[in-house]
Structure 1
Amino acid sequence: MAGDTVLAVLLGLVDMLLFVADGFAEVPERPPWFIAVPLDVVMVAPLVFRRKSPLWSAYVVLVVGVVHASLELGIGSVAGLAMSIYSVVVYVGRRQGLVYVGAVVVASAVQLALDPSGELVIDALFLAFGIALCWTLGEFVGARRAYDVEVEARLHLLETERDQATRIAVAEERGRIARELHDVVAHAVSVMVVQADGASYAIRSNPDLAQRAVQTISETGRGALGELRRLLDVLRSDDADGEPRVPQPDAHALADLAERMRAAGVPVELETGELGDLPAGVSLGVYRIVQESLTNTLKHAGRGATASVRVHRTGDLVEVLVSDDGAGRIPQLAPAGGRRDLRDAPVPGGNGLIGMRERAHVYGGTLEVGPAPGGGWQVRAALPVRLDK
């Protein structure tokens, strides 16, 4: 409005200077100053609001402009109508612009018909050229404004999508870290609890066994502490490209896992084929599935239970089978004599099985959990291997 105010003031000053010049030239039939000056002010005043309220400003200019032009008080009526046509096209739209141009044409035609002294053809051509020029300029500027609005809307949409993608990525990362923490803490704490219970029973009758159990607790606790530090380093790191200080376990660490479970009191038979160079994610998934399965065996299978781990790769598929002969069970997980695919039903019994299912599904694999045909419990997973060519 500040720029429009300056423009209106300048236009009003021009009309007043023309009125003063007509006074020195002694133009006949010149209206008195107390009529001319207020009309000049009223003529240009609506132009101040041509952006904020373009329609009512334009129609006020049209009504006042008829009187202003009839009294020949200057260029304010012509310039005001031209600016009003432009403003309506740019800030309101084509439909309202056509209506306003129609009103201008009708008012101008009536005025030309009532003024026989003018050149009708020249005035009509001047009117048509002026309207066409103002309309074309308004269309150009209006298209530019619409383009700018569209660009701003798209930028806002892109920012929103980027923020949403960031929130999704953060949620996925938190879920991954939660699974990692669960795998580390649940496995380590389960081993430590079992060993602590065994040591408390054997501390008097078999001190050597109790000492080995305490040593296993110490080693398991240190390993879990290292894993937790690695995860916390990732959370605290400001460098998104920084590598973890401790490497993640993979399928080649299954032998160490089996040895720790044997030390915890669960005999584990491990059989692994030629795994080759598995992708890091698949290899970590295999390790975590076996780890969670053996942890559940330790917690639920009961005394004297043994476990068997089979990991084989056939072509582009890694198959994992973890079974035990214990009495552990998860109620209502599967019907008797059958297994249930965890993709098609909710998994009760805690976050461990949910974490195994999600790890399998992340890589397009499957997971089946249920009673083993010969008794006990088994976990069967199949993970496809997708190596980058």
Structure 2
Amino acid sequence: MRRLSLWFKAHPMAGDAHIAVAIALFELPLIAAMASGWHTAILILVGIGLTAPLVIRRRNPLLSAYLVLAAGAVQLFTHGEGSDDTPDLRLRVADMALGISLYTLVAYVGRRQAALYAVGLAIGTGAWAFWRFSGMEPLIMVTFAAIIFALCWVLGEFAGARRAYHVEVERRLALLETERDHQARIAVGEERARIARELHDVVAHAVSVMVVQSEGAAYAVRTDPDMAEQAIRTVAQTGRDALTELRRLLGVLRSDAAETGRAPQPGAQSISELAERVRAVGVPVVLELTGELDDLPAGVGLGVYRIVQEALTNTIKHAGPGASAAVRVKRDGDQVELDITDRGRGAKRGLASGGNGLIGMRERAHVFGGSLEAGPLPTGGWRVHAVLPVTAA
């Protein structure tokens, strides 16, 4: 049944044709009662004029309504009171088309056009009632017609309001689909920005370690071959680790990313390995981890790791020879506090690197509702201090 209803909604002329045919079927007894002659021909023509326009009442409501009204005017002048051998033609079943047309104009066109049509109906109905009836009958017939037309108007208002509601719902659904697509594009942009920050952290750290180790190996290759060999191994291992992370990050951009295995994200538990790599470069690192860091949310753990990584990368790049670093990560209840300091000559490292590293660290802290401060120490060196709430994440 629902499928049939949807089919009629998609093909309105088919449903309207059924209405016209149904009214025509009720007209058959009247036509059969008429004797052959020109009266029968006029009866049939007027019947067709009243019912046939209903087929296009939703495709072209105004044309349909005024064709029906014109047929009603012809009926007014050609149909009269019956006699012994002819039926009464002052009122016929096909006159229902007048009310249907009024309903259609109210529902599909608007009140203004429907009101103009109603004026025509009122004039025609008054002329019909006082011309074709006598005594008290005209008042009765006018009252009866007014009730019928008022009912058609009310039904048209109801159908028009329901139709307008469905149109508004469909418009809002289309707007929601557009907004959803827009949000999807924003999400893609945010994901790409996140990947860009990840790539900056990975590449900056790995390249800094590899450059320092390569320079050290070049100096030690003749005087201390064992140290040079160790430095080259560190370069190779750092390169392999960087490639692993780069493959994971770039895999997100591939269309088949869902089918591609991804390496686990680094977290707070990986800070010890990070400190070991920095020590291998030649920068002493004092690491102090306090509190339960292994059960941090994945996002917070990754943020902690990246902030420490970027801070140590800046130490390698800008602190100068003889520098050392101290990393303290402490979880106290629902927040994680990071404090990374170094002792070196570099003071304007944020400006020297274009500030991207500091911006990235601040963004990571702000994403989780935390804060980050970075700047030179009064006694020399650099300090990065961040607080990340765990519950907000």
> Does the TM-score normalized on the shorter chain lie above 0.5?
yes
The 5 Å alignment of 1:240-319 reads: 245-276=262-293, 277-319=295-337
Q: CA deviation at 1:308?
A: 2.1
**Change over 3 Å in CA distance of 1:243–1:289 after alignment to 2:** farther
Task: Kindly provide the CA deviation profile for residues 188-217 of structure 1, in whole angstroms up to 9, marking residues without a partner as x.
Answer: 121112211221222223222211110101
RMSD: 3.3
**Change over 3 Å in CA distance of 1:331–1:351 after alignment to 2:** closer
Aligned to 1:363: 368
Which of 97, 101, 104 aligns to 1:80? It is 97
**Change over 3 Å in CA distance of 1:331–1:264 after alignment to 2:** closer
Residue type of the alignment partner of 1:55: L
Aligned to 2:8: none
Q: CA deviation at 1:221?
A: 1.4
Find the residue that maps to 2:375 and give its secondary structure: strand
Residue type of the alignment partner of 2:315: T
Comparing 362-371 with 48-57, which one deviates more in the overlay?
48-57
Residue type of the alignment partner of 1:374: T
Q: Which whole-Å CA distance do the structure 1 matches of 2:220 and 2:27 have between them?
A: 111
Q: Which whole-Å CA distance do the structure 2 matches of 1:387 and 1:11 have between them?
A: 70
Comparing 369-378 with 90-99, which one deviates more in the overlay?
90-99
Aligned to 2:34: 22
Aligned to 1:226: 244
Q: Which whole-Å CA distance do the structure 1 matches of 2:221 and 2:160 have between them?
A: 89
Q: TM-score, normalised by structure 2?
A: 0.80
Q: What percent of counterpart residues are identical?
A: 56
Q: Which whole-Å CA distance do the structure 1 matches of 2:348 and 2:92 have between them?
A: 92
Q: CA deviation at 1:79?
A: 2.8
Q: TM-score, normalised by structure 1?
A: 0.81
Task: Kindly provide the CA deviation profile for residues 240-293 of structure 1, in whole angstroms up to 9, marking residues without a partner as x.
Answer: 5x8964322222222221111111122222222224432222122111101011
Task: Kindly provide the CA deviation profile for residues 209-241 of structure 1, in whole angstroms up to 9, marking residues without a partner as x.
Answer: 21111010111112122223333455558585x
Aligned to 2:141: 123
Task: Please state which structure has a larger fraction of its residues in helix.
Answer: 2
Residue type of the alignment partner of 1:23: A
Comparing 294-303 with 136-145, which one deviates more in the overlay?
136-145
Comparing 208-217 with 365-374, which one deviates more in the overlay?
365-374
Please state if 1:144 is matched with 2:162: yes
Find the residue that maps to 1:114 and give its secondary structure: helix
Q: CA deviation at 1:88?
A: 0.8
Comparing 290-299 with 197-206, which one deviates more in the overlay?
197-206
Find the residue that maps to 2:132 and give its secondary structure: coil
Comparing 230-239 with 314-323, which one deviates more in the overlay?
230-239
Q: What runs of 5+ residues in structure 2 fail to find an aligned partner?
A: 1-11, 80-88
Q: What runs of 5+ residues in structure 1 fail to find an aligned partner?
A: 334-346
Comparing 53-62 with 256-265, which one deviates more in the overlay?
53-62
Aligned to 2:64: 57
Q: Which whole-Å CA distance do the structure 2 matches of 1:231 and 1:103 have between them?
A: 74
Alpha-carbon contact 2:220-2:228 (below 8 Å) kept = yes
Q: Which whole-Å CA distance do the structure 1 matches of 2:299 and 2:350 have between them?
A: 31
**How many residues are aligned here?**
369
Please state if 1:104 is matched with 2:128: no
Find the residue that maps to 2:344 and give its secondary structure: coil
